[in-house]
Amino acid sequence: MTQTPGLFIVTPGRRALVAALIVNLVAIGPLFLTGAMSVQIARDFGTHATTVGALAAAFALSTTLSTAFAGRNVRRFGIQRSMRVSSVVAIISLTGAALSPNTLLLAVALVIGGMGNALAQPAGNALVASQVSQRRFGLGFAIKQSAIPLATTLSGLAVPLIAVTIGWRFAYASAAVVALLTVFLAPKDQQRNVGRTEATVPRKQVVPLWIYALGIGLIVAAATSIGTLGTAGGVAVDLSESTAGYLVAAGGFAGLTIRLFAGWCADRYTFDAMYGIVVLAVLGGLGWIAMGTQAVTMFIIGLIVANAFGWGWPGLQHLSIARRFPTSTAAASGISQTGVSAGLLIGPLVLALLARNSGWASAWFTAAGCAFLGAAIIFWVSYRLPPEEPRPQTG
């Protein structure tokens, strides 16, 4: 019988998880910091908060255009080098954002950050798939994908603790210092899981995988609204800036909890991870409907529910890719992550425009519709992708 390492023993798999989580956290940081601090940034730049929120589209566009290429080339670059480069790019982006004198240069900094994020995501997936025990894939990918709810939580806390007190630029600068510490965090490239390679996606699976990416993108278009527009939306229903920031942070913590619980369940119970995505997306959609009522209490409840469930599925997304594409995890992740980055592009841009021109209720109801449609697409395409590898039995 295989012994389980003690909780505080640093195993290669645990080190890989920590590296993947933190590198992905700093890579996505510029996006969520900008969204959370949009009210303060807009005040300094003399523009509307939704305009700053829409700048997230610059980050997402850059990621969208870079992710598939980055995913295909992780094998050539090497996992360690890919993660180091993504951290360096994050440092440049965060420093540029802290020093930006106007929205144009802030957008440039976010474009740079998007390229780093495009490399960090598939590299992190390949690292987890190669070094974490396959019996722990569910929790492993859930921990790795905790970067986004952690980014949401930390960005929300940055509003009352930093942006409102000493200035929003210090939040970017602090994140840049953290990014500097992650440059040498990634472990050396090693293949610990026998039978897992990093080849290209089989030709006949490319189209269904892109359809899957479309469904994921629609759900992300809804989900990213919390991190990029949640604070401004809270202010719109008469919450204070600090209270809105704390609420977004609470939503991020709720999302983190659901991600970890979903991963824990995936390691212990047999179910198709794509079905789990569908269920969580539908539940999240109900949260956006509640936010759309614009009643303060319903908005608060809805934001927590939308973030908890609407952002609770990405660990299952990457778990499903790892189980369905054991010989091409990074390349397949590059395609599915293109859907994620496309959602990051479409969501903040479209929802910010709706909020400004048609009202916040329209934005939140549209987010709910995106979540429901994305869930339907994923349910349909799940029958057209390879079946998941059998869940390894725990020892």
pLDDT digits (tens, 9 = 90+) for 270-291: 788 899 999 999 999 999 999 9
Contact 304, 258 (CB under 8 A): no
Domain annotation covers residue 131: yes
Q: How many domains does the chain have?
A: 1
Instruction: Select the more confidently predicted residue: 394 or 378.
Output: 378
- Which CATH number goes with the domain that contains 26? 1.20.1250.20
Confidence tier at 216 by pLDDT (50, 70, 90)? very high
Domain annotation covers residue 193: no
Residue 225: which of 20, 29, 57 has the closest Cα?
57
Confidence tier at 7 by pLDDT (50, 70, 90)? very low
Q: How far is CA 339 from CA 66, 133, 367, in A?
A: 12, 27, 16
Query: Across 17-31, 182-196, 364-378, which has the greatest mean pLDDT?
Result: 364-378
Domain annotation covers residue 191: no
**Residue found by looking up tokens 């994923």 in the block:** 378
Tell me the two tokens of residue 287: 């949260």
Predicted pLDDT at 8: 46
Helices (H), 37-55: 38-45, 49-54
Determine if residue 11 is left, alpha or beta; phi over 0 gives left, psi from -120 to 50 gives alpha, anything else beta: beta
Domain annotation covers residue 304: yes
Domain annotation covers residue 386: no
pLDDT digits (tens, 9 = 90+) for 119-170: 888 888 778 777 777 777 777 777 777 777 777 778 878 888 888 888 899 9
Instruction: Select the more confidently predicted residue: 316 or 143.
Output: 316
Q: State yes or no: pLDDT of 237 exceeds 70.
A: yes
Domain annotation covers residue 188: no
Spatial distance between the Cα atoms of 210 and 9, rounded to a whole number of angstroms: 40
Q: Which of the residue ranges 60-64, 190-194, 232-236 would you say has the lowest mean pLDDT? A: 190-194
Predicted pLDDT at 12: 66
Show the domain range for 272: 12-183+198-381
